[in-house]
Amino acid sequence: MIPTKDKELLDQEKQLAAQAALQWVRDGMLVGLGTGSTAAHFIRLLGEVVKAGKLRIQATATSVASETLARQLGIPLVEPHRGLRFDLTVDGADELDPQLNLIKGGGGALLREKVLATASDYMLVIADSSKAVAQLGQFPLPLEVVSFALPWVLDAVADLGGNPVVRMDKNDPNKYAHSDQGNLLVDCHFNHLPNPTELARQLETIPGLVEHGLFLGLARAALVVRGGQAQVLRPGSAPQPATDFTELP
Ligand code: 5RP
C-alpha cells in the first residue's frame, strides 16, 4: 500500500506529465486516449484546450471509462473504422524500462490500449517517477483471457513461471473482474522479466489468451516526472528536459 503523502506526490507527477504531453498535440490530429489515472489527467487537460477552442482534434478512447470522460468534456470522438490511424496516442504505463518497453493493463484496458498503440504513428507514455524501472517484471503482467480457456491459460502461464492470479472485481471480491470486452483478467507474478521478447512470443502461442500487457517497441517517447521536472525519455537515449524538446510527432 502506497502511503497517502507519496500517493499525492505521485499524483502531482502524473498531472505534470499529462500537462507536458499537451506539447505533442497539434491542431487537426487524430488522438488515441489512454486509460488510467495519468491518462485521465491528460484527457481533462485536453478537454480544457478543446473547450477553449485552441485545438481541433478528434479522438478514440482505449476504454469505456476514458470514452465517457472524453464525451463529458466535449472531445469529439471517432468510432473505429477501416483505415483509421492516429497521429498520436497518449497513455500511461505500469512499468517502463530504458528501451521504453512497457507493462500495461493495470487498469484492465490492455487490449484496446494495444490496438490503439499499434494503430498510431506515435505512442507517447506519460508516467510518474515510480513507473521507470531498470528491468520489467516487478509489476504483475496482466493478461486478457477468454473465460472458457481460463484453466488451460493458467496452467500454461504457471509452466512459464508466471504464478497467475485471476483478478477479482473491485466492488465484489467474490466475483471475477471483467474487461470492457467481457473477458477475464489474469495477473502474472514473474517478479523479473529478463527476456520480455521471448516471453511475449510464448504467451502469443497460448489459445484463449487474447492479449498480454507487454508493449514492446511501441512507445516512441515517454514523459516521466522526477523531482518536479518532466523529462523526455526515448529508447536508449539520455533523458532531456521536456521544455527543451522540439520533436514533432
Ligand atoms: C490501464 C493501464 C494504465 O496505463 C496503467 O495501469 C497506469 O495507470 P495509472 O496512470 O493509473 O498509474 O495500462 O490498463
All domains of the chain in start order, with CATH: 4-130+216-228 (3.40.50.1360), 141-208 (3.30.70.260)
Residue 113 near ligand 1, beta carbon < 6 Å: yes
Mutational test site, ligand 1, from 8, 9, 33, 94, max ligand atoms within 8 Å of CB? 94
Is the CB of residue 93 below 6 angstroms from any atom belonging to ligand 1?
yes
Contact 206, 143 (CB under 8 A): no
Ligand 1, pocket-test mutation among 6, 10, 11, 35, most atoms within 8 A of CB: 35
How remote is the CA of residue 138 from the centroid of ligand 1, in Å?
A: 15
Q: Is the pLDDT of residue 248 over 60?
A: no
C-alpha 107 to ligand 1 mean position (Å): 5
- Of 113, 144, 211, 247, which residue is the catalytic one? 113
Rounded Cα–Cα distance for residues 20 and 31 (Å): 16
Q: How far, in Å, from the CA of 116 to the mean position of ligand 1?
A: 15
- For the cut 80, the answer to whether the pLDDT of residue 58 exceeds it is yes
Q: Is the CB of 106 under 6 A from ligand 1?
A: yes
pLDDT at 4: 74
Residue 227's pLDDT band (boundaries 50, 70, 90)?
A: confident
* Average of per-residue pLDDT across 130-138: 97
How far, in Å, are 25, 58, 113, 139, 228 from residue 79 at the CA level? 20, 10, 15, 32, 37
Q: What is the pLDDT of residue 182?
A: 98
Mean pLDDT of 184-204: 97
At 8, which amino acid appears?
E
Q: Is 99 near ligand 1, meaning CB less than 6 Å away?
A: no
CA of 114 to the centre of ligand 1 (A): 13
Cα 85 from Cα 102, distance rounded (Å): 21
pLDDT at 9 over 80: yes
How far is residue 216's CA from residue 51's CA, in Å, rounded to a whole number? 35
| Count of beta carbons in the 10 Å neighbourhood of residue 83 | 5
Average pLDDT for 215-235 = 96
Task: Find residue 123's DSSP bridge partners.
Answer: 89
pLDDT value at position 234?
Answer: 97
Whole-number Å distance, alpha carbon 126 to ligand 1 midpoint, is 10
Above 80 in pLDDT, residue 130? yes
Q: Rounded mean pLDDT of the chain?
A: 96
Q: What is the pLDDT of residues 28-49, one digit of tens each?
A: 999 999 999 999 999 999 999 9
pLDDT beyond 80 at 180: yes
What per-residue confidence (pLDDT) applies to 10? Answer: 96
Among 49-53, 233-237, 238-242, the range with the most confident prediction by mean pLDDT is 49-53
Q: What percent of the chain has pLDDT over 90?
A: 94
For residues 72-101, give the mean pLDDT. 98
| Ligand 1 neighbour 107 (Cβ under 6 A) | yes
Atom of ligand 1 nearest to the CA of 105: 14
Question: Once rounded to an integer, what is the mean pLDDT over residues 21-27?
Answer: 97
Residue 95 annotated in active site? no
